[in-house]
């Protein structure tokens, strides 16, 4: 019975020693490729972090540019609104001028011309009569008598009030349009403020991610520098473990030989 147990222990120990020896060879054979792969992986991870950091920096700059543009739009819209508001006041003044002041002045001028036309009739008659007296050297024979000329001027003024009225209507329409434009421009900052809040939220996210990436970049540098040493230590540790297992297997082998000799003696 001891002989059988001894043979089994010897076989198991021999197989275990072969496996341990093979494992030891594999450990030292794979050490350099694993080290190279680990270094390559660390380099790739570092490059990925650098690329990510650059991308986050570009995004941050783009967000800042967008914020500056939105701020410019807001300031420009308020400035244009103020200018148009002033223009609206001027347009209203012109409309009032065309609708009230100028028609009143035109009516007054036309009334004065008609009054002067009545007086001009008398003047025309007097001058015509005097021009017929031989002793008085007065020549008065105009193509258009003075009263007719004044009447023509008064008649020509009749076309101005409708023109003034049309201009007043156009100015009022323009003024109303300007009012709507000014209202829209003053409402624009509400939209731009929401855009600015969204940009600020996005910038916070970018800043947080950038901080995390910076932390990983600081972490990967010492890992890269100590990676080879760590892999060497792991290899030595595994070698020691395999050696220890081999020592145990040698003891099992010796025990098997002892049992086998004991079986022969028996």
- Can you give the pLDDT at residue 266? 44
Domain count of the chain? Answer: 1
Give the mean model confidence (pLDDT) for residues 70-75.
85
What is the reported pLDDT for 8? 66
What is the average pLDDT across 84-110? 83
- Quick one: pLDDT at residue 9? 66
The string of pLDDT tens digits covering residues 8-62 is 666 676 777 677 777 777 767 766 777 667 777 777 777 888 888 888 888 888 8
pLDDT at 106: 82
Q: For position 218, which CATH number holds?
A: 1.10.287
Question: For residue 140, what pLDDT band results from cuts at 50, 70 and 90?
Answer: low
**How does DSSP classify residue 143?**
S
* Mean of pLDDT values over 118-138: 71
Phi then psi for residue 141, to 5 deg, are -150, 65
Q: Which domain holds residue 66?
A: 2-265
Segment 261-265 shows an average pLDDT of 56
Residue 63 has pLDDT above 70, yes or no: yes
Position 3 scores a pLDDT of: 65
The tens digit of pLDDT for each residue in 218-251 reads 877 777 667 667 777 777 777 777 777 777 777 7
Q: Give me the pLDDT at residue 265, please.
A: 47
Q: In which region does residue 133 sit, left (phi positive, over 0), alpha (psi from -120 to 50) or beta (all else)?
A: beta
| DSSP, res 132 | T
Per-residue pLDDT, 121:
77
CA distance 153 to 94: 25
Q: Model confidence over 143-164: pLDDT tens digits?
A: 777 778 878 887 878 877 788 7
Q: Maximum CA pair distance of the chain?
A: 191
Contact 260, 3 (CB under 8 A): yes
The whole-number average pLDDT for the span 187-193 is 82
Q: Pinpoint the alpha helices (H) of the chain.
A: 2-96, 102-131, 146-156, 160-265
Query: Is the full-model pTM beyond 0.75?
Result: no
Nearest to 91 by CA among 170, 160, 166, 163: 170
What does the pLDDT look like over 195-222, one tens digit per residue? 888 888 888 888 888 888 888 878 777 7
Give the residue among 30, 37, 46 at the shortest CA–CA distance from 222: 46
């Amino acid at each position: 019975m001891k002989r059988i147990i001894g043979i089994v222990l010897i076989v198991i120990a021999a197989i275990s020693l072969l496996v341990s020896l093979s494992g030891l060879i594999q450990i030292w054979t794979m050490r350099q490729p694993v080290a190279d792969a680990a270094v390559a992986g660390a380099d790739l991870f570092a490059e990925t972090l650098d690329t990510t950091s650059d991308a986050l920096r570009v995004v941050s700059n783009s967000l800042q540019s967008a914020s500056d543009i939105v701020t410019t739009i807001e300031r420009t819209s308020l400035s244009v609104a103020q200018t148009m508001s002033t223009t609206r006041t001027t347009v209203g003044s012109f409309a009032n001028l065309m609708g009230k002041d100028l028609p009143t002045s035109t009516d007054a001028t036309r009334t004065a011309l008609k009054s002067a036309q009545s007086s001009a009739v008398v003047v025309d008659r007097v001058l015509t009569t005097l021009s017929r007296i031989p002793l008085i050297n007065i020549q008065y024979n105009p193509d258009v008598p003075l009263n007719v000329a004044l009447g023509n001027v008064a008649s020509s003024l009749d076309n101005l009030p409708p023109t003034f009225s049309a201009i007043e209507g156009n100015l009022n329409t323009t003024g109303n349009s300007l009012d709507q434009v000014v209202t829209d421009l003053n409402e624009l900052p509400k939209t731009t403020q929401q855009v600015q809040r969204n940009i600020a939220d996005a910038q916070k996210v970018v800043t947080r991610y950038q901080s995390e990436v910076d932390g990983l970049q600081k972490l990967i540098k010492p890992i890269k520098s100590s990676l080879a040493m760590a892999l060497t230590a792991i290899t030595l540790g595994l070698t020691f473990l395999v050696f220890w297992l081999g020592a145990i297997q040698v003891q099992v082998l010796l025990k098997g030989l002892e049992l086998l000799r004991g079986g022969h003696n028996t």
